[in-house]
Amino acid sequence: QSVLAINLIFGGLVKLDAQLTVVPDGAEKWSVSDDGKTYTFTIRPGLKFADGTPVTAQDFADSINRALQPETASYGASFQLQHVVGAAEVASGTAKEASGIKVVDAQTLAITTDETVPYFLAQLTYPVTFVVPLKFIGEQGANWTDQAFGTGPFRVKEWQHNQKLILEPNPNYWAGAVGVNEIDLPFVQDSETAYQLYRTGDLDIMGSQQNPVPSARVPEVSSSPDFHNVASFAVRYVGFNNKKAPFDNVNVRRALAMSVDKVTLAQRVLNGAVGPTDRILPAGFPGSQYPIQGLAFDAEAAKAELAKAGYGPDKPLPQVTLTYGVEGDNERVATFLQQQWKENLGIDVLLQPLELATFSKNLDTTYLTPDEGLEFYLSIWGADYPDPQNFVSQQLRSDSPNNNGHWEN
């Protein structure tokens, strides 16, 4: 949910509109070289930070380089910007500036990629490229985010840590007055609590990609004019640690995948709040329309897959642990999965719920040291930008920090 606040406070060269089209933000226009590798941006005249300081091309260059520098520890910056010439050197600490980021003049920035990257503009809508007030950061040090501001429509008025974030309008926002005097973002631990706060009038809005209206509550609100059911461009999935037995065996993985009735899970357990899928791309997302046939629910075929791996009634699969973060409907989903694997395969699965931050750290451990990592896990991936690469490469490339399960072919 931090991305919501970040997008309200900060801005980049470009952004996405309601139709998921890349449109101008801090840059009023751009051009692309004939070879498709160099993007030249014209910074919007009069662009300012919320404190009134003018923003130049140098600010954007310095901010992107800062995101890449290892001391910033920006999650995903080195992978998101891997095609920028010289980005790898900055990320490794051998350079301070990427050679592919050039300040042409105060209002012009050029970024060169190492190959033609059709989704590069979409990638630039991700927060790692947003411009930040480096002078202010230098003055305030580690606590600068308590009063954070950028070029977005709002700035931080007050941050009550672990309680709520209060935002006020950016008086220097390039698009003009935002029409909202204040936004309060309380930190609520789960979607059920948020739902109850909404019902009592303590929240004006609840529901998000990862914490929507609880599925058990959908029937009681589905006819309300307040209720809006929209595609979230997210996929919930079970990830396997491919480096750790028994999930280093593809037949075991196939068996567990084929033994789950996803239609029942979506329509009955989650009351139609989600849709079943057989692919990595969510419905309606670019690329999801192609006729790819995924693994279908087939309990008998699942048993056959398990037998191929050497497991069956005489040699049951050892007890395994499914880990998940405590959020949304994860407990309902995990419990259903546990029942399905027991009923259809005779497998005993132990459930391990973890607080979200702890779960995230365990995913990192699974990537960095798979032998010490999770066996398998229930997780979710939501689109950072509207291109299939964000799902496919980000999750499945061998060198991606998001390929927690070490899948490779």
Domains of the chain: 9-134 (3.90.76.10), 234-396 (3.10.105.10)
pLDDT tens figures, 234-282: 999 999 999 999 999 999 999 999 999 999 999 999 998 899 998 899 9
CA distances from 163 to 1, 82, 100, 159, 214 (A): 14, 36, 41, 8, 22
| Model confidence pLDDT, tens digit, residues 87-105 | 999 999 999 999 999 999 9
> What is the C-alpha R_g of the chain?
23
Residue 383 and residue 122 in contact, taking contact as beta carbons nearer than 8 Å: no
Looking at the predicted structure, is the pLDDT value of residue 363 above 90?
yes
A 10 A CB-CB count for 204 gives: 9
At 197 the pLDDT is 94
Contact 316, 325 (CB under 8 A): no
- Give how far Cα 395 sits from Cα of 87, 332, 391, Å: 20, 25, 6
pLDDT at 19: 87
- Average pLDDT score over residue span 6-35: 96
Residue 328 has what pLDDT?
A: 83
CA-to-CA distance for 372 and 322, rounded, in angstroms? 15
Q: ∠ CA(105), CA(111), CA(116), 5° rounding?
A: 150
Q: Average of pLDDT values for 56-60?
A: 99
CB neighbours of 143 closer than 8 A, spacing ≥ 6?
A: none
Per-residue pLDDT tens digits for 299-318: 999 999 999 999 998 999 99
Per residue in 370-379, pLDDT (tens digit) is 999 999 999 9
**How confident is the model over 144-162, as a mean pLDDT?**
97
The mean pLDDT value of the chain amounts to: 94
**What is the structure's pLDDT at 49?**
99
How many other CB atoms are found less than 10 A from the CB of residue 55? 24
Under 8 Å between Cβ of 150 and 50 = yes
Q: What is the pLDDT of residue 291?
A: 84
pTM, full prediction: 0.88
> What is the model's pLDDT at position 76?
81
- Distance from C-alpha of 55 to C-alpha of 60, rounded to nearest angstrom: 8
Q: Mutual orientation of helices 250-258 and 299-308 as an angle, nearest 10°? A: 170
Q: What is the mean pLDDT of residues 53-62?
A: 99
Query: Per-residue pLDDT for 75 more than 90?
Result: no
Whether the CB-CB separation of 177 and 169 falls below 8 Å is answered with yes
